Structure 1
Amino acid sequence: MQRICAGSLHSKDSHFHFKMTDYFSIKQLLFEELLVQCLPGNNASCIMEQFSLWASFALYLVFLSIMLATILGNSFVIVSICHFKQLHSPTNVLILSLALVDLLMGVIVMPFSATRTVHGCWFYGDTFCQIHTSFELFLTTLSIFHLICIAVDRHEAICNPLHYSREITMSVAVMMVCVSWALAAVYAYGVIYSKANMAGLEDISKSLCLGGCFVFFNPLWGMLSSAFCFFFPCTVMVCLYTKIFIVAEQHVRKIGDKNKWFVKKSECKAAKTLSIVLGAFIFCWIPLFTISITEPLTGFSTPPIITEVLHWSAYFNSACNPIIYALFYPSFIKCFHCIITLKIFSSNSSNMNLTVK
């Protein structure tokens, strides 16, 4: 570090000026020494986040808790539906696939996002950044498609109860799952790998620092992605559930003619529970999808910390669904208890009666 000899000057003003210059030079050099680069020795490197040890530990603890809740909770749902024969139904086929989506979010997406959030750096290379981004978009889109299928399933069960068992069979449910996975994959990987979302943003991509994982959507794809993959489907699902509850209320009022109007109480309760799942999804994801619309229009001015908070708010939704099932599905509570107490390994446990009186 260079020093400036202020004593060699005779003017008081010059003496003061050089002392101040010396102070700011020293301060700037010290500040630069404190900064840690994501790619050491590269002048174009991004700067690593400087959290204290305790702050980093607290963040990792929070993220680890969300990941464990996501992985364990959805694993319980998957094992329950696969093992217990009483849960083998078209609706639960869709719930099983949705739980698999949430499980993959906890296993593949969240761990790498956690290190990015804490350190402000992407340590896994540009290729894996693209894979991680496309997989995150794929799972998000897939969750929405599953919720649409579930809403259609509940609509048929409540609004057309006499034809439901004939129209919504196990094979139909499996087909809905396969189509959802295929369409979501085509959309997510098509957009990211074709770089359609980056069209017109070449100047921004060239000015980015190295060692980060950045994804931008231009105004066109920002609006299209949010409108057609979130806001429009959610509007349709809200309308479907609104109709479901109106029809269910009519069934209750006309319960006298049982042959025409009777609907199982369990079907109505399932519709209520799954509407809560939809509400949780909308609550967790709407801030992030709103940002994807406004960001291109505001010059991508949202602070990175805000973006990371919104991402983890969205990730938290994957941990919510098993909690909702446990709170509102007594049969799932019984399944979870059997798994935890290892009764699932007893003979003939798959035929266990899960009905709660």
Structure 2
Amino acid sequence: MSETYYLHLNVSRFELSLNGSLGQSVNITNGSDPNAANIYPDISYSLLTVLLLIMIATVAGNGIVLIAFCASRRLKTPFNYYICNLALADFLVGIIAMPGFIVYNLFNEVWPAGTALCTIWMYFDWHMTFESAINLAAVSLDRYWSVRWPVSYKRHTSVKRTILILLATWLYMHIAFFPGYLYDRIVNVYGEHDCFWDLVMNRRFCTAVAVLGYYIPLSVMVFCNWSIGSMVVKRTNATAQDPDVAKKYAEGETRLTLAKDKARRQRQPLITLAMITVCAVICWAPWVIYFTIAPHYPTALPDILITVGYWMCYLNSTINPYLYIATSDDFRGAIRDLFCRRSGQTLSGAFSMIISAAPKRTSLETSVRRAS
């Protein structure tokens, strides 16, 4: 008489079964936990390599910007404090948020590291992304103020005031998302290996989070940059049409060159901000669309959009530091000075070690050589 052996595979609960003609029923477990079957997937090493390269580029780029800012006095301007704050948030995304999401994706949306690390990862993942958006809104307002009311800006702006504004962005970021995050961690129930902020279960918070964390910052960025661009174009046209400009610069080519150089340096922060804003809008668009629609219509969008949206936001943190370096002479100069000085010190130290390690001649050997 044949007996049937059933083996069932449920990936979400890690239960194994198999249909066959065996003589008994068998439970396959690992230790005392019946849900502790092998969760290790077949890893795509090409995908893993790409994700690790993105993570390394994010950490390295933002780390270099932070080191250059701390090492260079000329970079410590109010505008560059905003850049440093943005680089700090992006650095934390690269060193904490990205590794967690890589693990979560490689394990087929299974979190293998426990509830405590899941809570830490989710905090940095969501909050640092929000801080990037809010910081860009704050720096856009700063540039708008400097262009719209330059006299008032020079009179009232300072490094201390900028630091207070940056602290306010971190407070605003926590007001925007932390209540929903805390409610989710305390009230909602997830599986042992689940690690995500469920948009459907947190539907009551999604609208407020989207408005405070995305739509208001994005609206501020777009308005400020559009207004700045319009004002710069109007002033440039007015200057070109002014008949007194040629007379002022006719006194010498040196003054004209200095004036052009000053104007170029004043435009650099505006160019940097414009490129960062355009990049942010493009990178955040998929996730903002998903975040807006999915809580109310969970099946209306493909699941791949959430993964694409996440990595587009992460790529924004990867691209940002290289935009600073590409558009800012001060950052390029500070980084060049930093590495040249370090390499010079290293070579000098190496030569000193070689000279000190070389055998020294005694006075007797010197006198013998002279006599010969």
Name which of 165, 169, 187 aligns with 2:154. 165
Q: Secondary structure at the match of 1:114?
A: helix
**Aligned counterpart, 2:135:** 146
Q: Please say if 1:91 is aligned against 2:90.
A: no
The Cα offsets for residues 33-91 of structure 1, whole Å up to 9 and x where unpaired, read as 9999499656667995744x4x2x12221121111111111111112222222212100
Q: Distance in 2 between matches of 1:317 and 1:38?
A: 39
Structure-1 separation of matches of 2:37 and 2:287? 23
Is the contact between residue 130 and residue 213 of structure 2 (CA under 8 Å) also seen in structure 1?
Answer: yes
Residue aligning to 1:22: none
Partner of 2:212: 228
Report the Cα offset of residue 290 of structure 1: 1.6
Identity rate of aligned residues, in percent?
Answer: 21
Alpha-carbon distance in structure 2 between the residues aligned to 1:144 and 1:339:
29
Question: Hey, what does 2:350 align to over in structure 1?
Answer: none
Aligned to 2:362: none
The change in CA–CA distance for 1:127 and 1:166 in structure 2 (over 3 A counts) is same
Quote the residue 1:316 is aligned against: 315
Partner SS, residue 32 of structure 1 = strand
Is the contact between residue 287 and residue 310 of structure 1 (CA under 8 Å) also seen in structure 2? Answer: yes
Q: 2:265 is matched with which residue?
A: 266
How do residues 333-348 of structure 1 correspond to structure 2 at under 5 angstroms? 333-343=332-342
Q: Check whether the contact 1:226–1:292 (CA below 8 A) recurs between aligned residues.
A: yes
Alpha-carbon distance in 2 for matches of 1:297, 1:153: 36
Decide whether the 8 Å contact of 2:286 with 2:309 is kept in 1. Answer: yes
Which residue is 2:168 aligned to?
Answer: 179
Residues 194-235 of structure 1, C-alpha deviations (whole Å, 9 max, x = no match): 239x98xx6xx5xx6431212113333222212221122211
Partner of 1:85: helix, strand, or coil? coil
Work out which of the residue numbers 85, 90, 100 in structure 2 matches 1:112: 100
Match of 1:294 in 2: 293
Q: What's the CA shift for 1:342?
A: 4.2
Give the alignment's TM-score, normalised by structure 1.
Answer: 0.76
Q: 1:245 is paired with a residue of what secondary structure?
A: helix
Superposed, which structure 2 residues align to 1:1-357 within 5 Å?
A: 29=7, 32=9, 37=14, 48=39, 50-51=41-42, 53=43, 55=44, 57-120=45-108, 121-195=110-184, 205=189, 209-217=191-199, 218-255=202-239, 256=242, 264-299=263-298, 304-343=303-342
Per-residue deviation at 1:341? 3.6
Partners in 2 of 1:43 and 1:305 — Cα distance?
31
What is the CA-CA distance between 1:274 and the residue it aligns to? 0.8
C-alpha distance in structure 2 between counterparts of 1:286 and 1:46, whole Å? 38
Any idea what SS the aligned residue of 2:59 has? helix
- Aligned partners of 1:212, 1:325: CA distance in 2, in Å? 37
Amino acid at match of 1:141: F
Q: Structure 1 residues 86 and 124 mapped into 2: Cα distance closer, same or farther (>3 Å)?
A: same
Letter in 2 for 1:173: T
Q: Which has the higher contact order (CA 8 A, sep 6+)?
A: 1
Instruction: Tell me the distance in 2 between the aligned counterparts of 1:219 and 1:46.
Output: 33
- For 1:46 and 1:149, locate their aligned partners in 2 and report how far apart those are by CA, in whole Å: 49
One-letter amino acid of the structure 1 residue matched with residue 9 of structure 2: E
CA contact (8 A) 1:46 1:210 kept: no
User: Take 2:145 and 2:225, find their aligned partners in 1: how far apart are those partners?
Assistant: 11
Which is greater in Rg? 2
Q: What's the offset of the Cα at 1:145?
A: 1.6
Distance 2:300 2:113 in 1: 25
Tell me the matched-pair count. 310
Matched residue SS, 2:294: helix
**In 1, Cα distance between equivalents of 2:98 and 2:152:** 41
Distance in 1 (alpha carbons) for counterparts of 2:338 and 2:321: 14
